[in-house]
Structure 1
């Protein structure tokens, strides 16, 4: 018994001793955590409010803290997305039991020094990604024996990858992508033989080669190195990466052949080699790559034929476009059960498409345009009813469009122009509900456009010129309110244009030349506010030229030649800024308006015998004497005006006439959103033509000067009849602006609504829009570099507020210079929220699916245009375009970029054309030569801070990354701009 008592005593002693030790350990850890919280971190969201030393089970029940359940020691600190700020809190690593430290996606700043990180040498994982750390990467001592994950991605680290990274013998994940590292990729990385992920993408490294011994990393599963300035050959040792799942070395300057050793990647699922300068023939060593799903070697200099070993794989996507490949497309490709994307465009392939292509797989996207293909279209392309993109243009394909294509209701994008297709088009081919683009021009097709085309509600582009189509212009086309481009030219259409075409308010180009249309040009075409090109030439149109054409704000090309138009040339046309104008060979008469009375326009006026000009020969001179009949008409017109004026005066005196601005308060429901010192009658009385300052998609804007001396802006929305979505746009504007307050967002003062009109009143912006100022004649004078930078920062702060401070977040969807207004001091205010959308919390990370793509051409993110899904990153892309516009002074689709290029492509190519020459740069990969090619020539060189501009260009290119995941958040954009601002101030 004595022995048992002694044993029990010893057990109790040990138990209580351990409790005391556990308590001491917990108290020590809690003290360290509280010390860091109180002295090193700022916690604006209160995520660390439960870090209180008096709580039970502290610190193991604290937010972000995990403990060993046995010892109660802290083993993990995870503050990811807590929005904490401050410097690197190295004191966390004084908790000796700590294994994992995750501080990702916060607002931490400053350098991470070698001394501070040395405290963390016993960690297993360290994640500092998506912060604002800068400076050089820290050195790593030989004590980092346990570290398996090191993630410093999405920061602003500069310089070299330190050689001491080899002191991490057990490192499995090295992730440094999206920084500003400008050294070289060291060969010593090949010594980290435990690596499974090596991610260095999107860094402006000094041009260099892939490590020759990269094949030593036999456990590597992800090698992600796009945009790292790689050059030279792909080393043969790459075939030793037997565990590799993803090989992405795209967007570099690699040369030479794709090595045969690539056949050794027996586990690989994705190979991305696109946008390099690889040459020679494709290797024949693909047979062993049985797990390969995606292969992309597009945009290189490859030659030869497509190997059977590649075509026989069960690939989901095969992209070989933009090379010089030739020969036939192997028939075995059609047996693939997984193929959903096939891109072979811009090559020299010949022969026919495999006859059974589409029969065995759910093909969604085929683009074989610009080759030498011939023969019939495969009957089975849409056999599985999944085909969305059908792109076959610039070949020699012949025969008819198969009837089976008329049942392919999944189609959204069709471009089969410039072939030799004939006969009629299947009825259903015109009418798919999801169809957005239909281009079948320059073939030998015939028949008429069926009324069923009205089902294609989302159609934005209808291009069918150069065929043998006939019949009338079907009125059902008027139901396609998204149409932006209509080209029916060089066909055999006849009859009159239906009056309802004025409802196509989004038209940008309308071309019906070389047909047999008759009747008059509709006079109510003033709704075509976005129209830039109008070509009605070579038809049989009659009547007068509508004066309303002169009110179209962006019309630049107007061709009405070779018709039977009569009457005078409207003087209003002279107000247009036309680069092309032609009214020749009609029956026009009278004096040539002053704006066209120049030799430059002479050929555009000829063929009208009754046109006259006082000095433009060979047109006959105009007679100075007025016929008696015309004088009589003038006198009668004056008398009629006097009579009408008298009647109006009498009506007003007898109060039988109610002017627009005189409606009483009961007829206009007013909702005030701010304290204002005026009433609606004072505003309504000023909505007159002389006060118009702008006309946009949703309505007309007036400058209203009040009796108090205050000036406001009033927008009167179009009636629902003129713009069917007017009600939705109005509601979106009110719902958004009535709930938010920010210095960089336009202030809504009040709304005024009745049965006849809807009006919103805002603060007046003295300097108009950024678009007006940037692209106006005085843009270079008014917008120096410091002012442009201030506008960029202010606009970014407004957009960040919408994305991060509004609950739920708000996506603007139409960020562009015209929607950034400038007050008297050029402070920017985001405006026009008619397209804004709230992002609901229950939506998945893929974004909300929209019913249609809205926004402005040149600013729309590529994934939004392709998938209809919108996220905050869609706005980030648009903002990046605005930054490039501020830098260059050029619009997104400036003619100087070349055909089919936008500002993003132009700037990217220019930046790569002039790479950084020096090795001392720590703020970007762009030298002065590059910047001089990009920067607005109106900027004064001596007033430009080139170091600041380099960084801003980096931000802009990050914002316009092709993949949304590679773009920074707007909160990060603001911090980066502020960082560059502070750098500038120093």
Structure 2
């Protein structure tokens, strides 16, 4: 009985145990939990279906009772005893990948779903329509492809749909016309290739419609869109539109932003736009609108930005347009004529006025700038006359004053010398006269001061020492007189100094040699006297020195021969004397002119060639290898010297001839058995310290350092310890002439590269030592570049180690090399295959342009683009117009160089599976428009250089402009890169780089990052 009672005793404690367990389970600190509810189980299925490399879903644990505390999950607590429901899933930027997780649609109360900025890489399933409670759906910036499910319109409560920046294609479903509550539809930056469906006009609830940057088939704007009377934002940039704007658009009375830029719209700008009384921004640029601007702008009292540039508009600017409180007015590259109304000066909010490249006449309003915080004024390339308005800087904010190529006259307003905000001043090619205000020389923030081609007079003020940020100083072709002040030597950022055709006198200040950033000094046609100052060897960056037509005397400093970058030297028409320094032979000169001086003695042997004949004319005591060079008075005095010189040349020629005969006899028909190479023709372009046999002996597979479509590259270490690179080109058959990288049939790759590189001397062009033609192959011997190509280094395992300083140096070096080809060669050379793999790096990461196998010499600049028989270039680098017109000029190289700049900034390859059918340039522009600068810059780069990186990115966008005319010259690119390396050029907003239009001297219209 006792035993039975003991067995029953535990049952008497069951209620107590259950009570205790109940209390424990309700305690917040309890280790015991209820089982995960049904919605949590659905989300666990979502987690299991996605790849989560960054662990964003690590908090999604089945140890919880509900998912309400999980990352990205929001629940609704109904109160009472009902369990909470998941109403929002926000996994933006979680680095998730995989197919669209359909289990999300099992959450019956889910109203908000955001998978923005992930890598969802499938098509959207038709079953997405089962997410019946959705009001907000954001799937932007993923890898979603395929068509848009027509079942999306079955979501009855959907108000927000964002599919931006994916890879979706096909048509916009006609079923979208069934949406009844949709307010936002964003589908920009995809690959939709149908048309903009007129059924969209049925979604009368729409407030925001954005379809820009899709390759739609050419179509007209659907009049049905005028039914969207609630619409506030309409963005249809680059949508293949043509025809006129439908009159039904006049019903869009709530419209705030109208952007139909970069299409083919025609006709006049319709008057019914004045019914859009809430409009704030109107973007009509880069279309084909014609006719005059209509009157009636006074009705648009909210308008702050109007851009109708790059159309075919004519006539004058209506007065009532000028009376609006505009923040930005862009009308450039039209055919506007007439005068600029005085009413434009009455706009209280006008801070940017760009009306360059039109036919506007008359004078600028005298009160311009007095009533508004004017920051930018660009009226260049018009027919304006009269004086510069006095009040342009009345509010103290004027930064850019651009008035080039007009007929402005009178003095530079004296009060502008107090405008300390000025950073960019261009007054070239006008009729300005009088003295330059003293303080104008010393504007503290100015980095560009261009006063060339006017009638200015007076002296250069000592106050120029205050222009610490000045990088370009140009006042050529004026009447400025007096001495060059010593204070010029305090402009430590000066890069270009042009003061030719003035009345300057006195000596060149010795302080000038302190400016170690100088690239160009042009002082020709003045009255300067004295000697070239000592210490000129410190100007290591100097590329051009022009002191012609002065009264300079003394000898040429021997140190000039140490300026390795100098390729333009003109000292003609002075009083220089003495012998010509032998050190000049060290220079890689494209132009040398020492004529009309008093030099004597021998011409250095390197220059004793017919090509330099005109470089030494009218020097009475100078003799060399040119018939008739010496004057009659000096012939007797130097006759013995001439005979000795001729005898020396004759002996040397005889020895050389004997050596060649012996060499030909020795090597005739002797085959290098080891490698099967027979040398039949050997041509050298530099003094060589190695023999043919050394090269052929080392052409072995063990020495291969690279290969391409045209052959292999070998590293050859010579007996003297020096290394060279040997490019072995295999012989091609006739059928290969149509290959992607082939050149015109009448000249093969070997001959082109030899002809091009053999005559080039520049520090940023790879040196070709020699070439040889064999029976089985052709060899090119270059200087060896130990750090290989930029492409291999940037995209290889060491790519992340390239810091910004190194990348910038590489960009600048390559730009200078291309600038030399385009501008400084006697016949300009178009490379035609600029890419990161053709930019080689020496031991100090100095860059040199290489591989001229498809280069083309442009015979005459006035012939414009030359038509090639085939496409030449590399995928990802080919300019758009070249791919379908086969017309090549220097603008093709500039586009390719822009892609290289983008590689340096982004760290990405020019083509990448992530881009889909987009190229790098399009991908960058899309990212900038959607996310800003943050997602574009290579994350390996130090953020402390962000400001400078933004400027270089801006230059790359200029270079990759779809329109060739909008791309700057390579000389301009070099200048912009140099400008971008200083801190004073551009102020960047705290949140990063912002978009602003280009100016007249860029000759373009495209958004830029400055």
Same structural fold, with TM-score higher than 0.5 when normalized by the shorter chain: yes
> Could you tell me how far 1:928 is from its partner in structure 2?
8.2
Of 80, 90, 98, 2:92 maps to 80
Distance 1:780 1:343 in 2: 55
Q: Are residue 44 (structure 1) and residue 9 (structure 2) matched?
A: no
Q: Please tell me whether the aligned partners of residues 526 and 548 of structure 1 are also in contact (alpha carbons under 8 angstroms).
A: yes
Q: Please tell me whether the aligned partners of residues 770 and 781 of structure 2 are also in contact (alpha carbons under 8 angstroms).
A: no
Structure 1 SS opposite 2:920: helix
Gap change, CA 1:797 and 1:385, over 3 Å in 2 = farther
Of 53, 64, 73, 1:65 maps to 73
- Alignment deviations for residues 470-504 of structure 1 (CA, whole Å, 9 cap, x no partner): 12212222222221211111111111112222222
- Alignment deviations for residues 800-843 of structure 1 (CA, whole Å, 9 cap, x no partner): 9589xx9xx999666638599xxxx9799999999xxxxxxxxx
Of 904, 918, 924, 1:959 maps to 924
Q: Are residue 355 (structure 1) and residue 350 (structure 2) matched?
A: no
Q: Are residue 27 (structure 1) and residue 57 (structure 2) matched?
A: no
Gap change, CA 1:935 and 1:509, over 3 Å in 2 = closer
Q: Please tell me whether the aligned partners of residues 557 and 578 of structure 1 are also in contact (alpha carbons under 8 angstroms).
A: yes
Distance 1:561 1:419 in 2: 30
Q: Please tell me whether the aligned partners of residues 771 and 817 of structure 1 are also in contact (alpha carbons under 8 angstroms).
A: no
Of 186, 200, 203, 2:197 maps to 186
Q: Are residue 96 (structure 1) and residue 91 (structure 2) matched?
A: no
- Which range moved further: 118-127 or 477-486? 118-127
Structure 1 SS opposite 2:329: strand
Distance 1:409 1:617 in 2: 59
Structure 2 SS opposite 1:332: helix
Give the corresponding residue for 1:54: 63
> Could you tell me how far 1:337 is from its partner in structure 2?
0.9
> Could you tell me how far 1:266 is from its partner in structure 2?
0.9
- Alignment deviations for residues 717-771 of structure 1 (CA, whole Å, 9 cap, x no partner): xxxxxxxxxxxxxxxxxxxxxxxxxxxxxxxxxxxxxxxxxxxxxxxxxxxx997
Gap change, CA 1:909 and 1:417, over 3 Å in 2 = farther
Gap change, CA 1:175 and 1:775, over 3 Å in 2 = farther
Q: Please tell me whether the aligned partners of residues 910 and 933 of structure 1 are also in contact (alpha carbons under 8 angstroms).
A: no
Of 276, 298, 302, 2:313 maps to 302
> Could you tell me how far 1:538 is from its partner in structure 2?
1.0
> Could you tell me how far 1:363 is from its partner in structure 2?
0.9
- Alignment deviations for residues 612-645 of structure 1 (CA, whole Å, 9 cap, x no partner): 2224544578958569xx9xxxxxxxxxxxxxxx
Of 562, 585, 589, 2:596 maps to 585
Gap change, CA 1:531 and 1:264, over 3 Å in 2 = farther
> Could you tell me how far 1:315 is from its partner in structure 2?
0.8
Q: Which runs of 5+ in 1 are unaligned?
A: 1-15, 17-22, 631-702, 712-768, 784-788, 835-854, 857-881, 900-906, 915-925, 940-944, 975-986
Q: TM-score normalized by structure 1?
A: 0.66
Summarize the alignment of residues 400-411 of structure 1 with structure 2, pairs less than 5 Å apart. 400-411=411-422
Of 560, 564, 573, 2:571 maps to 560
Q: Are residue 454 (structure 1) and residue 439 (structure 2) matched?
A: no
Gap change, CA 1:152 and 1:967, over 3 Å in 2 = farther
Structure 2 SS opposite 1:501: helix
Distance 1:123 1:279 in 2: 46
- Which range moved further: 523-532 or 963-972? 963-972
- Alignment deviations for residues 518-576 of structure 1 (CA, whole Å, 9 cap, x no partner): 12223433343433322211111122233443443443332221111223334443454
Give the corresponding residue for 2:490: 479
Structure 2 SS opposite 1:587: strand
Distance 2:613 2:779 in 1: 34
Structure 1 SS opposite 2:548: coil
Distance 2:587 2:93 in 1: 53
Gap change, CA 1:104 and 1:349, over 3 Å in 2 = same
- Alignment deviations for residues 182-218 of structure 1 (CA, whole Å, 9 cap, x no partner): 4433333323322222222233333333223322222
Rg larger in structure: 2
Gap change, CA 1:552 and 1:161, over 3 Å in 2 = farther
Q: Please tell me whether the aligned partners of residues 88 and 108 of structure 1 are also in contact (alpha carbons under 8 angstroms).
A: yes
> Could you tell me how far 1:388 is from its partner in structure 2?
0.9
Gap change, CA 1:596 and 1:972, over 3 Å in 2 = closer
Summarize the alignment of residues 171-182 of structure 1 with structure 2, pairs less than 5 Å apart. 171-182=182-193
Gap change, CA 1:179 and 1:281, over 3 Å in 2 = same
Distance 1:476 1:33 in 2: 73
> Could you tell me how far 1:251 is from its partner in structure 2?
2.3
- Alignment deviations for residues 647-695 of structure 1 (CA, whole Å, 9 cap, x no partner): xxxxxxxxxxxxxxxxxxxxxxxxxxxxxxxxxxxxxxxxxxxxxxxxx
Structure 2 SS opposite 1:256: coil
Of 366, 378, 381, 2:392 maps to 381
Gap change, CA 1:971 and 1:474, over 3 Å in 2 = closer
- Alignment deviations for residues 285-342 of structure 1 (CA, whole Å, 9 cap, x no partner): 2121110001111122110111112111111111112211111211111111111111
Summarize the alignment of residues 848-927 of structure 1 with structure 2, pairs less than 5 Å apart. none
Of 206, 224, 244, 1:233 maps to 244
Q: Are residue 969 (structure 1) and residue 935 (structure 2) matched?
A: yes
Q: Please tell me whether the aligned partners of residues 533 and 556 of structure 1 are also in contact (alpha carbons under 8 angstroms).
A: yes
Gap change, CA 1:169 and 1:441, over 3 Å in 2 = same
> Could you tell me how far 1:351 is from its partner in structure 2?
1.5
Q: TM-score normalized by structure 2?
A: 0.64
Q: Which runs of 5+ in 2 are unaligned?
A: 1-25, 27-32, 646-714, 724-761, 772-777, 783-787, 816-835, 866-874, 897-909, 941-1010
> Could you tell me how far 1:387 is from its partner in structure 2?
0.9
Structure 2 SS opposite 1:169: coil
Q: Please tell me whether the aligned partners of residues 322 and 346 of structure 2 are also in contact (alpha carbons under 8 angstroms).
A: no
Structure 2 SS opposite 1:247: strand
Q: Please tell me whether the aligned partners of residues 157 and 181 of structure 1 are also in contact (alpha carbons under 8 angstroms).
A: yes
Gap change, CA 1:78 and 1:601, over 3 Å in 2 = same
> Could you tell me how far 1:259 is from its partner in structure 2?
0.9
Distance 1:440 1:29 in 2: 73
> Could you tell me how far 1:91 is from its partner in structure 2?
2.7
Distance 1:259 1:908 in 2: 40
Q: Are residue 816 (structure 1) and residue 827 (structure 2) matched?
A: no
- Alignment deviations for residues 836-869 of structure 1 (CA, whole Å, 9 cap, x no partner): xxxxxxxxxxxxxxxxxxx99xxxxxxxxxxxxx
Q: Please tell me whether the aligned partners of residues 178 and 202 of structure 2 are also in contact (alpha carbons under 8 angstroms).
A: no
Q: Please tell me whether the aligned partners of residues 114 and 140 of structure 1 are also in contact (alpha carbons under 8 angstroms).
A: no
> Could you tell me how far 1:596 is from its partner in structure 2?
3.3
Give the corresponding residue for 1:850: none
Q: Please tell me whether the aligned partners of residues 398 and 419 of structure 1 are also in contact (alpha carbons under 8 angstroms).
A: yes
Structure 2 SS opposite 1:421: strand
Distance 1:74 1:453 in 2: 69
Q: Are residue 329 (structure 1) and residue 340 (structure 2) matched?
A: yes
Structure 2 SS opposite 1:188: helix
> Could you tell me how far 1:416 is from its partner in structure 2?
1.4
Summarize the alignment of residues 106-255 of structure 1 with structure 2, pairs less than 5 Å apart. 106-109=118-121, 111-115=122-126, 117-120=128-131, 122-255=133-266
Structure 2 SS opposite 1:507: coil
Give the corresponding residue for 2:794: 795
Q: Please tell me whether the aligned partners of residues 888 and 935 of structure 1 are also in contact (alpha carbons under 8 angstroms).
A: no
Q: Please tell me whether the aligned partners of residues 144 and 167 of structure 1 are also in contact (alpha carbons under 8 angstroms).
A: no
